[in-house]
Amino acid sequence: ALGIGAATAKAYAKAGSLVTIFDINKNAGLDIVKSIVEEGGEAQFFHGDASKSQNCLDAVNMAISNYKSLSVLFNNVAIQPPDSYLNAVDLSEEMWDKIINVNLKSRYLMAKFSIPHMKKLGKGVIINMSSGGATRAHRSFCAYDASKGGIEALTRAMALDLGPYGIRVCALMPG
C-alpha cells in the first residue's frame, strides 16, 4: 500500500488489471484503493499480516471471489525495523523471526495459495521483489540480507517447479 507496492498497484490498475492490495497498514491500503478508483481503475483492499498463513489464504480467496481469477502475484512486502539494525549476536531471535517471516515466508505463503489458481488458467506470473541485500551484505542487516537471499533462492526453485505449468517466476531488484 506504500512505495513500490502502491506505484505497482496503480500501474497495473491503469493498464486495466483488477487489483487486490493486501497490507497490514489499513489506512494506506484504503487510500491507495481510493486513489486507483478515482483514476478509473478497479481495486479492493484486504487488511492483514502477510506473515500469517490464514491471512494470505483469505487475501487470495478475496481476489478470486471478487475477480474470478488470479494471474499475477506481486510479492513486495518487506520490513527492516530501526531496532533491528544489529549484528547477528545482538539481534534477538524474535526480531530475526519477524523479519524472515514477513520478508521471506510471506512470499512462500502467497505463492502457495495463488499457484493452484494459476495452474487452472494454464498461465501466471509471480514477481518476487528482492533487494541488493540478496547479493551483497549490509552492515547490521543480517536478517534482512538473509531474507532477500532466500527470496532469490525461492524464486529460482519455484521457476523450475512451475515453468511446466505456464507460470513464470521472477525476482526484481530495485536500485
From first to last of its 175 residues, what are the pLDDT tens digits of the chain?
999 999 999 999 999 999 999 999 999 999 999 999 999 999 999 999 999 999 999 999 999 999 999 999 999 999 988 888 888 999 999 999 999 999 999 999 999 999 999 999 999 999 999 987 777 777 788 999 999 999 999 999 999 999 999 999 999 998 7
12 flagged as catalytic: no
| pLDDT for position 140 | 84
What is the reported pTM? 0.95
Question: How far is 40 from 147, CA to CA, in rounded Å?
Answer: 36
Q: What nine digits make up the cell of 86?
A: 544489529
The type of residue at 50 is A
pLDDT the model gives residue 60? 98
Task: Supply 135's cell numbers.
Answer: 547479493
12, 67, 108, 144: which one is catalytic? 144
Please state the length of the chain. Answer: 175
* Terminal alpha carbon distance of the chain: 20
For 9-36, give one letter per residue: b (16+ CB within 10 A) or e: bbebbeeebbbbbbbbeeebbeebbeeb
Distance of CA 21 to the CA centre of its chain: 10
